[in-house]
Chain A
Amino acid sequence: MSGQQGMGDGFLTTTLDAITNWGRANSIWPMPMGLSCCAIEMMAMAGPRYDIARFGAEVFRFSPRQSDLMIVAGTVTYKMATVVKKIWDQMPEPKWCIAMGACSSSGGMFRSYPVVQGIDQFLPVDVYVPGCPPRPDAVIHAVMEIQEKIKRQKDSFQDSFLAEDDAPQVRQPESPKEKEKLTVSE
């Protein structure tokens, strides 16, 4: 479909994609959603020994508007879930999410009434990090996985540079019957 618009999977776009992805992957700005124990290990990751700056992700931004990776570190309770979601919604696209530790991945050892059993019930998680809490090396590995994922992403150049007005128009289905036809033909 995109080929008809003149920006297909050609040589130019893939190269531009690669450049965009390279830039994005090496300058991740994490949003430290430090909730409990894992937050300390996340700080250790940013600290002098493990030094996440080697991967270009040391710029911890406490404002969601300035960040593109959310590290949910710690137990998410139902009371906190709405807050986490609100902050996630404020982050600009494209954005990624790491569920750090057993609690945010699956509820972990807290199988109890106030704890959300895994943040993937309301957030799209890209990388799960096991451990209670995981060692900083494991979180660095997770950041590297995110980098790999960014590098594999397609059409990222178009996403970042095409304005909304230039978006290719697709005819909206009018009646339910026609809509059905459309989906079948696709």
Chain B
Amino acid sequence: MLNKVSIALQSAFPKALLETTKFRNELTFRVKKENIREISQFLKEELGFNLCVDICGADRFNEEPRFEVIYNLMNLEHNTRIRLKVWLEEAKPHLPSVISVWPAADWYERETYDMFGIVFVNHPDMRRIYMPEDFEYFPMRKEFPLVGVPGSIPLPEFDERAQNLDAGKRYNQGQRI
């Protein structure tokens, strides 16, 4: 089955298919980012990859192009899994959304945007999913420190009056508790 997929993709998209790797019996195809939607459509309709298991981003950091997006696909009938991969430049990390092919891609793409700042064009609801809306950074990028940037997310203030250790004493002094 895996060979069949490889041959079918090769013959249908000879120009868009850039690289094929096989590691531990898992196939990964690297494709051009402009063609990702057509290739997804082809994989779903012709080859039966009906389940989009996962979409995730990765940061290649000191290599060019910097970002990659990995599509983890599955064919429920034959139980075969393949991966699609797309490379993106740091300057313009935009690529077409595949939400029209697999509705499941909705939240996966939002998560990838939240973590890496990769924008999926034509996504209906491109918001952050985990971090607050006003958070400025993209935390899964390699340059972002693990402990975060101090003060980037506000914390509620400590209320001194809330301490009830000496509530009675303060009450006697005429303070409101």
Residues of A within 8 A of B (CB): 1-2, 5, 78-79, 81-82, 85, 88-89, 93-96, 111-114, 116, 121-124, 153-156, 158-159, 162, 164, 167-170
B23 within 8 A of A: no
Bound state CA distance, A1 and B162, in angstroms? 22
Bound state CA distance, A104 and B122, in angstroms? 40
* B153-176 interface code vs A (CB 8 A; 1 in, 0 out): 111111100111101110111101
Residue of B153, B156, B158, B169 touching A114 (CB-CB under 8 A): B153
Known: A85-B156, A169-B174. Contact between A113 and B168, CB under 8 A? no
Q: How far is the CB of A118 from chain B (nearest CB, A)?
A: 11
Residue of A nearest to B160 (CB): A124
Residue of B131, B146, B153 touching A111 (CB-CB under 8 A): B146
Chain A residues whose CB sits within 8 angstroms of the CB of B156 once the complex forms: 81-82, 85, 122
Residue of A94, A113, A121, A158 touching B164 (CB-CB under 8 A): A94
Bound state CA distance, A78 and B169, in angstroms? 34
Residue of B nearest to A169 (CB): B174
> Do residues B168 and A124 form an inter-chain contact, with CB atoms below 8 A?
no
Chain B residues whose CB sits within 8 angstroms of the CB of A167 once the complex forms: 171, 174
Residues of B within 8 A of A (CB): 130-132, 139, 144-149, 152-159, 162-165, 167-169, 171-174, 176-177
Chain A residues whose CB sits within 8 angstroms of the CB of B152 once the complex forms: 113
> Do residues B164 and A95 form an inter-chain contact, with CB atoms below 8 A?
yes
> Do residues A79 and B146 form an inter-chain contact, with CB atoms below 8 A?
no
Chain A residues whose CB sits within 8 angstroms of the CB of B145 once the complex forms: 113
Bound state CA distance, A1 and B149, in angstroms? 48
Bound state CA distance, A94 and B162, in angstroms? 9
Known: A95-B164, A153-B168. Contact between A113 and B174, CB under 8 A? no
Bound state CA distance, A121 and B157, in angstroms? 8
Which of B154, B172, B174 gathers most chain A CB within 10 Å? Answer: B172
